[in-house]
Amino acid sequence: MTSLAKKDFLDDPLDNVELAASIQNWTYDRSDNEVSIIANGKHNNYQLSVSLRNDSKGIDVVCGFDLRFNEKNKFQILKLVSSINAQIWLGHFDVWDKEGLIIYRNSSIIDRRNLNLETIETLLLDAVNSIDLYFPAFQYILWAGKNSEEALSTVLFETRGEA
């Protein structure tokens, strides 16, 4: 049996976005140049928006998740976002200051002819996996009053071996 990711990709990259969402059993809706996806994450459902750049040289993946911050914890959130972004290689977290929102964003320059299913799956799963990993750190600041260093070290803590 051949994996869908190894088959020839569809002509329209947004068709591949729909296919990738379908493979993951995510709900999606499509407009002319965008696919909106509700992805099931470990901690919450995430709202992904995938759109193609008008100049046909790129793709934007923006992912919102249900966390809002206020002035009280803004400084720690900004420090956390900066620390996280220094560690991840694909995409980044962004802060929408006026709205008090944290989002994940990956804007990639890539020719549409190279946007096959495997590439789309990588972009979408990386967004979800990044949020899954760091979502608790944001919660630690917002709900437990931790500072950014404590929050980040808690989520990056790895256990090794067996007890």
Q: What is the pLDDT of residues 104-119, one digit of tens each?
A: 999 988 877 778 899 9
Q: Measured between alpha carbons, how far is residue 50 from residues 5, 126, 137 in Å?
A: 18, 13, 25
Q: How long a stretch of residues is the chain?
A: 163
pLDDT at 65 over 90: no
Tell me which H or E stretch contains 130.
Answer: helix 117-144
Per the prediction, the chain carries an average pLDDT of 88
The SS3 of residue 60 is strand
Q: What is the pLDDT of residues 29-50, one digit of tens each?
A: 999 889 999 999 999 999 999 9
Domains observed in the chain: 4-155 (3.30.1460.10)
